[in-house]
Amino acid sequence: MIQTPRLHLVPFELDHAVALAGGRLELGALLGVAIPDGWPHFPEAYSVEAFSTPEDGASARVWGTYLFLLNDRCSLVGSGGYKGKPVDGVVEVGYEVAPNFQNRGLATEATRSMVGHAFSYPQVELVQAHTLGEVNASTKVLNKVGMTFVEAFSDPDHGVVWQWQISRSESPVPA
């Protein structure tokens, strides 16, 4: 688990995926929290099939998906995490916040904590993220956590995508 001033980032595990497959209410009952409308925005990322990867359990817990729960544990507000374990010193982060909890700094708080968590592992030298190729809420979050724009490229599924990154030496978050 990763702790921030307002959030608990709880590893998303197989029992969570099974519960979510039964519906948001079932996941809420398992976690003991309310699950907001509009979450998840990308339901395919939370399927039971996502757990059929060859990664070992410990690695998947560290470098997988996290559920963002308010510290009072009354509600899930979003989710995010890493797109797999570091490769050549690089790990990628992603995140989403339910519509009712946006514009409260929660995405920034969660992303900042994920960057710091990544840099707590000596093999990580660079944290990356990708956004749609336009100024939007995600680009603002990445700027706030110290990431810089690297390049734009064309993705066959998403059109223009922007790549962002922060290195260990640039990170204001103590590793």
Spatial distance between the Cα atoms of 38 and 49, rounded to a whole number of angstroms: 22
The pLDDT, as a whole number, for residue 57 is 59
The pLDDT, as a whole number, for residue 106 is 97
Structure-token pair, residue 81? 């995490």
Residue 118 lies in a domain: yes
Residue 114 lies in a domain: yes
Residue 174 lies in a domain: no
The pLDDT, as a whole number, for residue 58 is 62
* Per-residue H/E/C for 27-59: HHHHHCCECCCCCCCCHHHHCHHHHCCCCCHHH
Residues 64, 11 contacting (CB under 8 angstroms): yes
Residue 172 lies in a domain: no
First to last CA, the chain: 16
Count up the domains in the chain and report the number.
1
Spatial distance between the Cα atoms of 56 and 36, rounded to a whole number of angstroms: 31
Nearest to 39 by CA among 65, 4, 1: 65
Structure-token pair, residue 134? 């336009």
Domain containing 133: what range? 2-167
What is the CATH classification number for the domain harbouring 15? 3.40.630.30
Which residues of the chain, if any, have pLDDT below 70?
51-60, 173-175
Strand ranges (E), the chain:
2-3, 7-11, 65-70, 76-82, 90-97, 126-132, 148-155, 159-167
For 47-87, how does the pLDDT look when each residue is reduced to its tens digit (9 = 90+)? Answer: 887 765 555 556 667 899 999 999 987 999 999 999 999 99
The pLDDT, as a whole number, for residue 175 is 45
Inter-CA distances, 68 with 54, 104, 107, 125, 126, Å: 25, 13, 9, 25, 23
